[in-house]
Amino acid sequence: MNINKIIPPKIAQKIMNGLFIASGLLTILILILVLGYVLVKGLPVVNLEFLLADPIDSGRAGGIFPMIISSIYVTAIAGIIATPLGIGAAIYIVEYANANRAVRLIRFGAEILASIPSIVYGLFGLAFFVVFLQFNWSVLSGGLILAIMALPTIFQVSEVTLSSIPSSYREGSYGLGASKWQTIYRVVVPAAIPGIVTGIILGMTRAISEAAAVMFSVGSALQTPISIFDPGRPLPLHLYTLATEGISLDNAYGTAAVLVIIVLVITIGTNLIVDRYQRKMTGG
């Protein structure tokens, strides 16, 4: 209000427009700086040998093949477990639940799960999966922790999408004599697929990026895990170890570049697929 009296509105408008544009540019600049630096320094290290070879001398030389496999293992385990749980919970909340208090409790539960710091998950995984359930240091223990972390993301995005499906879809299906589950399975969920897929991918991106939550449960082994009970070392954890223990800067750059490219490909790929599906569904 006071500013209004000192600065004429039109000039205030111009100043603010400048600030808005500057903030947008700064955000883009930060992204370019971080991505650009990692890719410029890392990509020269990345070649087929780097991707397919075992690390030599705890990562001073050689490649990152076991880490890629470990990452795939933990992320796949997380996805396989969290996807049905997240979607199921979202379907229950949107289509079945009518007790307001229960809905709020379940939503709040998801918010808590989404906000628990990853290092607390790490401690919990150590105490529960590794020691109590005796899964030991294994990609299974790591994957299970990541499943719990990815669950709220999948749930929240699916819930928003499912509740945005118009009720006329459901009424039409009931009108044709379909049961509740048939309506959900044949009509509501297919219409919500783009949103649900986005949710799953977001959950998976969270899982594949995570190091702190798994650092005390996957075992940090340098060998390629064969069974789910073998220890492993996912890419982010490898990067952390290489960088903080000063093992090899070059290989750290390479690992960071690979990690960034995986995340970029997943994000961009999903956006394209979801876009296409949506256009197909809306006939546009």
Question: What beta strand segments (E) does 168-271 contain?
Answer: none
**77 in contact with another protein (CB under 8 A):** no
CB of 86 to another protein, least distance (A): 8
CB of 226 to another protein, least distance (A): 25
Over its C-alpha atoms, the chain yields an Rg (Å, rounded) of 23
Instruction: Return the number of other C-beta atoms located less than 10 Å from residue 180's C-beta.
Output: 13
Is residue 238 within 8 Å of residue 215, measured between CB atoms? no
Q: Taking CA 37 as the corner, what is the angle to CA 263 and CA 34, rounded to the nearest 5 degrees?
A: 60
Binding footprint of another protein, residue count (CB under 8 A): 87
Identify the DSSP state of 249.
H
Listed residue (215, 248, 239) closest to 74, CA to CA? 215
Residue 232 β-bridge partners: 219
User: For residues 4-63, which are near another protein according to CB under 8 A?
Assistant: 4, 9-10, 12-13, 16-17, 19-24, 26-28, 30-31, 34-35, 37-38
Q: What share of the chain is helix, strand, coil (3-state, %, to 5)?
A: 80, 0, 20
User: For residues 211-250, which are near another protein according to CB under 8 A?
Assistant: 211-212, 215-216, 236-237, 239-240, 243-244, 249
Query: 126-155 mask for another protein (x: CB under 8 A)?
Result: xxx---x---------------x--xx--x
For another protein, the closer CB: 13 or 164 = 13
Query: 85-124 mask for another protein (x: CB under 8 A)?
Result: xxxxx-xxx--xx-------xx-xxxxxx-xxxxxxxxxx
For another protein, the closer CB: 4 or 227 = 4
Which structure tokens are listed for 34? 């971080």
For another protein, the closer CB: 69 or 240 = 240
Is residue 134 within 8 Å of residue 226, measured between CB atoms? no
For another protein, the closer CB: 19 or 281 = 19
CB of 240 to another protein, least distance (A): 5
For another protein, the closer CB: 127 or 281 = 127
Return all residues near 35 (Cβ < 8 A) that are at least 6 apart. 260, 264
For another protein, the closer CB: 130 or 139 = 130
Distance CA 180, CA 71 (A): 39
